[in-house]
């Protein structure tokens, strides 16, 4: 990547986005556009929700990839990290013409140098925490632009909120150490545990990546970390020993200070919690103890930004935070309610790691204690499934019934034949009496159409495409008057 590509800003720069319909890519394109760049892009002909967003902004999108898509005078190309710059026709053409090519994480890193930037990181919880920070900043009218890795209803079902050019809050990813491109003043660290087994060697390797990220904090930077998470706490301690100037702000049930969660109460559809440093309760309508932690992290970050922006942390600001949290409805694929039909509640969730699965199911049980919980899970990547097989097997203990499928493969790895969806099913069925297996999600439709009953909660989980099964079942039951 050329050094400091955006030294002179974005205004008047002509930028081509290869793979512009991706959630993060479309959000980044919108931010570039808001800062005066001349943006265009290309992608497949498949329709995504981002098509409407890009069309509404007036950003032209060419369907199909071809070398001739690069317009004369293009200053640089931003491409999805899913594409190989040495094989993709547009990226090859850019190389031939001497046009700089930057991946999404590199471009986000470049963008972060134009703002006072905060990065939200963690193996779990970073999407929801970033979205919560965004709605807090919007409600408080802070000059903050926010980029999330998922669509947020509070942002008008887009993944970005353009609220000013002074502060940036962005979700930053640990995979392949992508977050090391980012230039942070503040970092939120929600969790650090083993994941991405196709890249990280072991737990020490992934911890080292998070430590390197935290050490990138500017002088007297802020590290907001989850005191309930052993990995995040260990990283915070090691970072503090190397950089005493970094200010540590813990949050969680075991934290000390203002952001200790001192109380939580669940009732149907509502969570109320208290923080040590503030009077009164905060209210959420999104399930899970993990969401309470994410809300505490978001409050810590938003209030720090407000203070740095010269906004007093007074009762008026706290009142706006309460309104924002109470109005938060989650993000796409994070305990997202698909709908209710024939008395069956359909939910979709992205959880694809055992820790996230267990936490999400616990939250759903707290919110819906009288519903039978039927989980449809599609594992993601062979390496993760193999490495965490035992943990996966125990993560469904709160489910009344579990439906499993083949492994949803990733282009970044190959199957060595040692693990499959059936391997996981054998592990789960050994400890769970009501586990069933269907190779393809569609194969389960007929059986579930008969077995699902009024009062059930059916949740599709994972990073695969089994969410389509939940949608199809919802449409099926919507067409019926009742189910007994």
Nearest to 23, CA basis, from 182, 143, 131, 137? 131
Does position 248 have pLDDT exceeding 90, yes or no? yes
| Average confidence (pLDDT) over 100-104 | 96
DSSP conformation class of 408: B
SS3 call for 355: helix
Q: List, for residues 350-369, the tens digit of each pLDDT value.
A: 888 999 999 999 989 988 99
CA dihedral 388, 390, 393, 398 (to 10 degrees): -90
Q: List, for residues 402-455, the tens digit of each pLDDT value.
A: 999 999 987 677 777 889 999 999 999 999 989 999 999 999 999 999 999 999
Q: Is the Cβ–Cβ distance between 375 and 347 less than 8 Å?
A: no
Task: Name the packing angle between helices 104-112 and 23-34 (round to 10°).
Answer: 40
Q: Is the Cβ–Cβ distance between 335 and 449 less than 8 Å?
A: no
Nearest to 324, CA basis, from 153, 109, 100? 153
Q: Which fold has domain 115-327?
A: 3.40.1190
CATH 3.90.190.20 residue ranges for the chain? 336-478
Question: Cβ atoms within 10 A of the Cβ of 194, count?
Answer: 21
Does position 3 have pLDDT exceeding 60, yes or no? no
Give residue 197's pLDDT. Answer: 80
**What is the C-alpha separation between 83 and 74, in angstroms, rounded?**
19
For the entire predicted model, the pTM comes to: 0.86
Q: Which fold has domain 14-104?
A: Rossmann fold (3.40.50)
Q: What mean pLDDT value characterizes the chain? A: 93
Lowest model confidence (mean pLDDT) among 1-10, 89-98, 125-134, 146-155:
1-10
DSSP string, 54-102: HHHHT--EEES--GGGS-TT--EEEE-TTS-TTT-HHHHHHHHHT--EE
Does position 9 have pLDDT exceeding 90, yes or no? no
Instruction: Copy the structure tokens of residue 294.
Output: 């994410």
Nearest to 364, CA basis, from 289, 297, 295? 289
| Average confidence (pLDDT) over 116-145 | 96
Q: Is the Cβ–Cβ distance between 411 and 82 less than 8 Å?
A: yes
Nearest to 349, CA basis, from 369, 367, 363, 366? 363
CATH 3.40.1190.10 residue ranges for the chain? 115-327
DSSP string, 150-196: EEEGGGTSEEEE---SSEEEEE---GGGGGGG---SEEEE-------
Question: What residues form DSSP beta bridges with 186?
Answer: 118, 222
Question: Cβ atoms within 10 A of the Cβ of 348, count?
Answer: 24
The C-alpha angle with vertex 462 and arms to 459 and 465, in degrees rounded to 5, equals 90
pLDDT band at 1 (very low <50, low <70, confident <90, very high): very low
Q: Is the Cβ–Cβ distance between 82 and 19 less than 8 Å?
A: yes
Q: List, for residues 389-399, the tens digit of each pLDDT value.
A: 999 999 999 99
Does position 252 have pLDDT exceeding 70, yes or no? yes
- By DSSP bridging, strand 222-226 and strand 144-152 are unpaired
Does position 484 have pLDDT exceeding 60, yes or no? no
Does position 121 have pLDDT exceeding 90, yes or no? yes
Give residue 153's pLDDT. Answer: 86
- By DSSP bridging, strand 247-251 and strand 261-267 are unpaired
Question: What residues form DSSP beta bridges with 247?
Answer: 222
Q: What are phi and psi of 116, to 5 degrees?
A: -85, 105
Q: What is the CATH number of domain 336-478?
A: 3.90.190.20
Nearest to 332, CA basis, from 209, 142, 84, 152? 152
Does position 4 have pLDDT exceeding 80, yes or no? no
Residues 6+ positions from 21 with CB-CB distance below 8 Å: 41, 43, 44, 46, 48, 50, 51, 54, 61
SS3 call for 294: helix
């Amino acid at each position: 990547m050329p050094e400091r590509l955006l030294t002179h800003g974005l205004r008047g720069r002509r930028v081509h986005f290869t793979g512009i319909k991706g959630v993060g890519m479309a959000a980044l394109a919108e931010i570039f556009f808001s800062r005066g760049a001349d943006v265009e892009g290309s992608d497949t002909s498949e329709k995504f929700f981002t098509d409407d967003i890009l069309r509404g902004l007036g950003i032209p999108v060419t369907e199909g990839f071809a070398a001739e898509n690069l317009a004369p005078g293009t200053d640089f190309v931003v491409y999805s990290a899913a594409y190989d710059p040495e094989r993709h026709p547009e990226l090859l053409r850019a190389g031939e013409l001497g046009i700089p090519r930057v991946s999404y994480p590199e471009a986000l890193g470049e963008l972060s140098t134009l703002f006072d930037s905060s990065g939200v990181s963690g193996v779990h919880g970073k999407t929801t925490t970033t979205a919560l920070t965004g709605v807090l900043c919007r409600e408080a009218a802070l000059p903050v632009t926010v980029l999330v890795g998922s669509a947020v209803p509070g942002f008008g079902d887009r993944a970005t909120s353009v609220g000013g050019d002074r502060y940036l809050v962005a979700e930053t990813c640990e995979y392949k150490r992508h977050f090391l491109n980012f230039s942070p003043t503040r970092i939120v660290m929600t969790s650090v545990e083993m994941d991405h087994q196709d890249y990280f060697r072991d737990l020490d390797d992934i911890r080292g990546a998070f430590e390197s990220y935290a050490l990138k904090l500017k002088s007297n930077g802020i590290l907001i970390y989850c005191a309930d998470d052993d990995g995040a706490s260990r990283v915070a301690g090691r970072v503090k020993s190397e950089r005493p100037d970094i200010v540590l702000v813990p949050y969680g049930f075991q934290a000390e200070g203002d952001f200790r969660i001192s109380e939580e109460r669940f009732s149907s559809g509502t969570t109320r919690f208290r923080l040590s440093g503030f009077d009164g309760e905060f209210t959420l309508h999104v399930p899970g103890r993990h969401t309470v932690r994410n809300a505490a992290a978001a409050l810590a970050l938003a209030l720090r930004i407000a203070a740095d922006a010269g906004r007093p942390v007074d009762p008026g600001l706290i009142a706006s935070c309460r309104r924002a949290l109470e109005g938060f409805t989650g993000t796409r694929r994070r305990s997202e309610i698909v709908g209710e039909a024939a008395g069956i509640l359909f939910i979709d969730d992205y959880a694809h790691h055992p820790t996230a699965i267990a936490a999400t199911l616990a939250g759903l049980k707290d919110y819906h204690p009288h519903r039978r919980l039927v989980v449809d899970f599609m594992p993601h990547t062979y390496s993760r499934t193999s490495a965490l097989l035992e943990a996966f097997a125990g993560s469904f203990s709160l489910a009344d019934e579990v439906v499993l499928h083949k492994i949803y493969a990733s282009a970044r790895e190959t199957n060595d034949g040692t693990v499959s969806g059936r391997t996981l099913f054998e592990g789960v069925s050994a400890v769970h009496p009501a586990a069933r297996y269907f190779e393809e999600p569609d194969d389960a439709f007929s059986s579930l159409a008969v077995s699902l009953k009024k009062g059930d909660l059916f949740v599709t989980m994972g990073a695969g495409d089994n969410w389509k099964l939940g949608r199809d079942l919802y449409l099926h039951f919507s067409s019926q008057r009742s189910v007994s």
